Structure 1
Amino acid sequence: MTNAYSLDGILVFGLLFICTCAYLKKVPRLNSWLLSEKKGVWGVFYKAAVIGTRLHIAVALSCLVMAFYVIFLK
């Protein structure tokens, strides 16, 4: 189990947040409600969704590497 206050816990949270926002961007009803703002606090969701869709290969590979690290090395 990863600790939320360690570096690997923050990385896991960030990767899951980016993957979730990129997935929510594909759902039309949630896209217009959650990802419509591009500034402010709600803009973080939009920016994470953009990162997840533009860098989908790098995000997927880093998710796999982090999963291997958490399961086998930690």
Structure 2
Amino acid sequence: MSALFNFQSLLTVVLLLICTCTYIRSLTQILDKRKTGFLGVFWKCARIGERKSPYIAISCLAMALSNLFY
């Protein structure tokens, strides 16, 4: 089943996107150049990961436990 039709898979993909963008932004400042347009989505995901990091971490833990036991 595609990640677009399964809600749990969609949440996993979104969380991984946020975590990946935040990690890439911490290594390089490549996402700061593109704040608008299609590539601005990655900058926004990085900002969400930076600002909401405790909630993102708890969500990642919950998703990991959910994937582990289901």
Q: TM-score, normalised by structure 1?
A: 0.85
1:27: Cα distance to partner?
1.1
TM-fit CA distance, 1:54: 0.4
Counterpart position of 2:26: 26
Structure 2 unaligned spans of 5+: none
Q: Label 1:14 to 1:64 Cα distance change in 2 as closer, same or farther (>3 A).
A: same
Match status 1:14 vs 2:14: yes
Q: Where does residue 56 of structure 2 map in the other structure?
A: 59
Q: Percent identity?
A: 40
CA distance in 1 between counterparts of 2:24 and 2:58 reads 20
Tell me, in whole angstroms, the C-alpha distance in 2 between the residues paired with 1:3 and 1:42: 23
Distance 1:9 1:66 in 2: 10
Shift of 1:3: 5.1
Q: Could you list the runs of 4 or more consecutive aligned residues of structure 1 that deviate by over 4 angstroms after TM superposition?
A: none
Superposition CA RMSD, Å: 1.3
Cα deviation code 1:24-73 (max 9, x no counterpart): 01112xx22xx12111100000000000000000000000001000111x
Match of 1:48 in 2: 45
| Partner SS for 1:21 | helix
- Which amino acid counterpart does residue 67 of structure 2 have in structure 1? V
Structure 1 unaligned blocks of 5 or more:
none
Question: What SS does structure 2 have at the residue aligned with 1:61?
Answer: helix
